[in-house]
Each structure stands twice: as structure tokens, then as C-alpha cells.
Chains A and B, each alone.
Chain A
Amino acid sequence: MAVSSDYLKGAGKAHEEHHEEEEDPRQYLMYDPKPRGEMNAMVMESMTTTSWKFWVVLGILAFLVASCFFYAWGYMIAEGLGVAGVMRPSYWGVFLVNTVFWIGISHAGTFISAILRVFKAEFRRPFTRAAELMTTFGLIQAGASIFMHLGRVWLAYWMFPIPNERQLWPNFHSPLMWDLLAITTYVLGSTMYLFLPLIPDLAMARDRSTGWRKSFYRVLALGFRGTEGEWRHLTTAMNIFAFAIIPVMFSVHTIVSWDFAMAMRPGWSSTVFGPYFVLGALHSGMGAVAIVLVIMRATMKHMDYFIRKEHFDALGKLMMIVSFAYAYFFFNDYIVQWYGGDKWTDTLLHWLEEGPMAWMFYQMVGFNIVLPFLTLWNKRIRTTPWLLALIGLLINVGMYWERYIIVPVMLTINRMPFTWKLYEPRIEIFLTIGTFSMFLLFYMIASRLIPLIPVWEVQEGQMVHTLRKVGKTHVPTVSEFE
């Protein structure tokens, strides 16, 4: 299907001969088409080519998951929550910091895949799946962190709306129940949304595999052939998902923010906490996507064809815009509380600025607001992958500190000074390492089993992009296929 490729070749040649001052359109993935078979082969090779370093890292992560996640959690279940650092006044500790952090990470997948799909942002095409995977794996860690926080995890079913021997139903008017429902909706929705566009690529992998991989992809591809009806059902469903998952995404982090904002506590009771949390989630999620894309490009074969500087550039711009919006809500939340002059809020804010956790507060402001402002306006920085990944990493450090400040630090300063005690995490540190390791482990395993590049979407994108001659130059043009 070389509808546009011949024309592009011609345009590229013309460009070389006559328009040396114009930028070469072939630097953009959509204007540098390859035959679909070749792209399939590249993606399959990226999944099946594995170096010894991969297995070493996988082994280390597996060890960390076994020891820091399963063993540590098992130990905590056996010994009780006393082995954790949570105690009066900080009953909510790192477990909930991790929950909020991982839910935040998960927002990037939906944002990139759904919102950019709805607005037909073409640069999204090669990395939607990488972002969607982050959503699913991030939510698994968020869910695990909530169950860790429960302590008596075997009683989790008490939250489910099932009639029981006491004839009591859960209190659906509690923000914690809203959490359960919102996160469940989001986990299921985002996993289904990950799977639907994956089906054609699983069929592609099925057609090119042998042995256990063939059986694996055959089962997962469900018998997909690409008939008109199958495409119609699939694209209709993807459109519905793209629109429906957006309000769900907003609701999830808003409801998470209400866990805090509904309480009349200094630092928590805020009407802008909902959008502030959503923006914070997008901020950390975008940073995480940048890290993942850089690692994918550096470690997986042929990824430099699919993931290019244009994508880092676009992602960098998005990170900058999200950072602006985040700064706006941060300041809004801060100034209103500061201006209010409530005694305890005042004490808390002064404590944040001058107390023992001030370093965390200033790092949060520096990494989340100052750093993106100072760096991401520069195209050279945006298009340098390792720099963008570093900025993404620092943003995530800043966002983790932000959640840490909101949860245990703000619980420390309350209206009863005799209870003030700085929270010190104990087993939570190991469990945090465990969740991070599990996220990375899942991602590494998925990178060998699931085509991380949605090849059919890339090919579709390359077909709708053409160069149109306007006057003496060629103008990139995108047509509507749907």
C-alpha cells in the first residue's frame, strides 16, 4: 500500500535538488514510510532479540520483587502493621503516597492514547501502546499499595457490594468507596483499551511466529483476520473508549484527591484539589513516558525508526504545558490557604518552608515548576533524549515528594500539637522498592511478548500523510480516513 510513499520519495528528491533550505520531511516518521512487512519484521525482531544484559536486569528485578514485594508484604501480614512506620498522627504513610503516585503515572497512558486520539494528534501513533502499558502496570502497583495499606488484606472483600451475614452494605457515601469503584472502573477500562488496538498486532505476531509464541499469539489474537466487519467493530469500540475513558480518568484522580480534600484538615481542605491532582498526575505521567521512550529507543532494536526526535519534541512541549497548568493550580491552592490566615494552616505552611521537611518542599517546587520552565522551552533540550528523560525523572522525584508532603507530612501538623511526630517509613521503604521493581519487571517482560509499537496505526498514519505542493514548497497534509 504505497499510496504516498512514491510521492514522498519524489518530494524528498525534489527537496534535495531544489529546496536545500527546507527541512527534510523524511525526518518525520509519518513522511518516512516503509513497507508494512518490513515494519512488522522490525517490531518482531525487537521482541525476539534479547541480550544477556536484559536477563541480568530481569533477574535482579525478579529478586527485588521476590524479596522487597512478596517477602516484605508477607512479613507485614504475618507481623501486623506494627512493622510499618505509620502511627499517630500519620496513619496514612508511604503506602498511600505510592497509591497516589502510581495512579498519577497511569494517567499518561490514557492521556496520550485517548485525548490525543480524540484530537487526532498524529505524533501519538508510535508510542500509544508504550503509554497504555504504563497505565495498566501503574494501576496494578496502585492497587497493591492500597491492599498493603489495608493491613488485614484478607478482609478486603468487606468493601465489595455483596450481601453478607450482617446484612450490611458498604457505605457508598464514603470517599474511600468512591476510590474503590473509580479505580476498579479505571483498571478494567484501561486494560480493555490496551487490549482492543492490540488485537491486530497480535494477529500480525501470530502470522510471523512459530512454537510457543505462535500458540500464545493465536490465543490472544482471538481469530482476528481484518475483515471489514472486524475493523468496523474494533474502530467503533476504540472511538467509544477514547471518549469514555477521558471522564473516567479525570474522575479517578479527582476522587483520590477527595480522599484528602473532603477532610477539614489544614493543607487538605481545598476546592482545587481535584484539578490540581489531575494535573499533577499528568505531570508525572508525561515524565514517565519520556523515560520509558528513551529506554525503549536505547535498548530495543529498530526503535530509533519508530521513536524519533519529533516525538521527544512533542512530548517535551506537552510536559511544559502541563507544568504551566500544574504551577497555576499549585499556586492557586497555596495562595488561597496562605491568604486565609487560619492558624493551623499558617503553622503548616511555615513548617513546610522552614521545618525539617523544607528540603523536600523546595525540591518539589524546583523539579515540578522551575526546572521545566527553565529547560523545556528550548528545542535542543526537548530533542535530546537523555536530557528529556532526566527532566522526566526529576519531575517524578518532585511529584513523589509532592505526594509525600500531602500525605504524611501534612498529617503531622494538625490541631493537636501534642500529637505532632514526624513520620519515619520502615518496611514501607522495601515495599516501595518492590512496587517500582515490579512495574519495571512487568514492563520488561511485556516488551518481549507484546508488540510495543502499534504497527497498523503507524501504517495507517503514514497513509494519511502526504506532501501537497503549494507554490514552490511542499506542505505536510493530513487527510481524514474515517
Chain B
Amino acid sequence: MSDTTLLALFEDIDPAADAIDKLHEMGVTDDRLNVISGIPITHKMLGRPHPWTNVSRLALGGAVIGFALGLFLNFGTPLLYNVPVGGQYITPIPPGLILVFEMSFLLALLSTFLGVFLDSFFPNYGPMEYVSEISDGKIGIFFKVPEEQQQTFTDVLSKMGAESVMPTEARPL
């Protein structure tokens, strides 16, 4: 029995959240369901599981690497080629803090940026399930159902306020 992907489009958050509840009742599990929207809508509003993100961990990792790199540039490179200047420390700490600070933040910001790319699988120019109404502010619920139940789900979601419920396929954006 093959599955088909349906897309239900909603104008507002409330009916979309109710529809997700109904889909859960009808046996559609969260892993067979995806929500896309034109603005960020929290998982709590829709009653969805908390989406995992590694961005903050990657940012922290970047900061640690930047910190280490800052230490190396500050305190390592003067020792690699020692240029004594009369009465001055080779590895003074106060000016060293500046470079350590800048490198920590630079690497933290870079890794945060890259984290978005890694976690979101950007760039992705292949075919995807999408409709342009999403960027017009609509909320789209994609879910997989057995093909013979397509009509049942369409009727239920239409009654719950869906503007349209239709089968969808991945296509180039």
C-alpha cells in the first residue's frame, strides 16, 4: 500500500493547531508530519515536538576553538620567533586578552552561521515539497497517509478550516 503526501493549507494558527491534534487522533504520528510557515511559529503553539538544533552547541564549539586560536596567536607566535624589545614582556597578558576576545567571537559567529547551513541542509536546490502560498503567510501541513484514506483526511481537514487539501509532490523551487 503506497503512501501519498497531502498538503493542507491554513490561514490561521488556531485551526492549524487543531488540525494537527486531529491528525494525531487519526493516527498520523509526528514523524510523518511537517509544518511550514512564512513566519516562525513555536512548537508549543502547534503542539508539536521541540525541534532539535545544534546551532548553539556549534557556536560554543566555535568560541572555544577561537579562544584557543587567540591564545596561540598571542602567546604562541611570539615564542616561535622571539623578538625581545627592551624592557617589554614577550607575552603580555592585558593586550593578549583583546585578541583572545576577538578570535573567540569571530569563530563563535562563523560557526553559528555555518551551524544554520549544516542543521538546515543549506543550500538545497533539489526538488522539494512546497507551495508559494507559504511565503504569503499561509501555514502548510504536510503529512503522509495511505492512498486509500486520502479522501477521508481531505474531508476532515476541510471541515476544520483548511483552505485546501491536496496531494503534493517534490518540485524545484
Contact = CB atoms under 8 A, between A and B. Distances in A.
B35 to A, nearest CB: 5
A232 B137 contact: no
A244 interface: yes
A2 B12 contact: yes
A188 interface: yes
B116 A233 contact: yes
B105 interface: yes
A36 B137 contact: yes
A223 B109 contact: no
Contacts of B137: 1, 35-37, 459
Interface stretch (A58-66, A247-255, A438-446): A247-255
A203 B48 CA distance: 24
Interface string B11-47: 1111000000000000000000011111111110010
Interface string B46-75: 101001110110010000000000000110
A251 B135 contact: no
Nearest to A245: B109
A232 to B, nearest CB: 4
B68 to A, nearest CB: 14
B110 interface: yes
Contacts of B56: 236, 240
A153 interface: no
A170 B51 CA distance: 45
A1 B132 contact: no
Given A226-B37, A228-B35, A248 B105 contact: yes
Contacts of A172: 73-74, 77-78, 95-96, 99
Nearest to B109: A189
Given A226-B36, A240-B112, A245-B109, A182 B102 contact: yes
A3 B137 CA distance: 12
A225 B40 contact: no
A448 interface: no
A1 B53 contact: no
Contact of A240 (B13, B59, B78, B92): B59
Interface string A180-206: 011011001100110110001001101
A37 B12 contact: no
Contacts of A188: 106, 109-110
Interface residues of B, number: 65
B108 to A, nearest CB: 6
B128 interface: yes
Given A251-B101, A456-B38, A207 B135 contact: yes
Quick one: which of A3, A185, A237 has the most chain B CB within 10 A? Answer: A237
B48 A230 contact: no
Contact of A37 (B46, B78, B112, B136): B136
B80 interface: yes
A435 interface: no
Interface of A: 1-3, 35-37, 40, 161, 167-169, 172-173, 177-178, 181-182, 184-185, 188-189, 192-193, 195-196, 200, 203-204, 206-208, 218-219, 221-237, 240-241, 244-245, 247-248, 251, 255, 456, 459-460, 463, 481-482
Given A181-B99, A192-B112, A226-B135, 16 more contacts: A1-B12, A3-B12, A37-B137, A169-B81, A184-B106, A189-B109, A207-B134, A219-B125, A229-B52, A231-B40, A240-B112, A241-B109, A245-B109, A248-B105, A459-B137, A460-B40
29 contacts: A1-B139, A2-B11, A3-B14, A36-B38, A167-B80, A172-B74, A172-B78, A181-B103, A181-B106, A185-B109, A189-B109, A193-B109, A196-B116, A204-B38, A207-B132, A221-B173, A222-B123, A222-B124, A223-B125, A224-B120, A226-B36, A228-B43, A231-B37, A233-B119, A237-B55, A240-B55, A240-B56, A240-B59, A460-B39
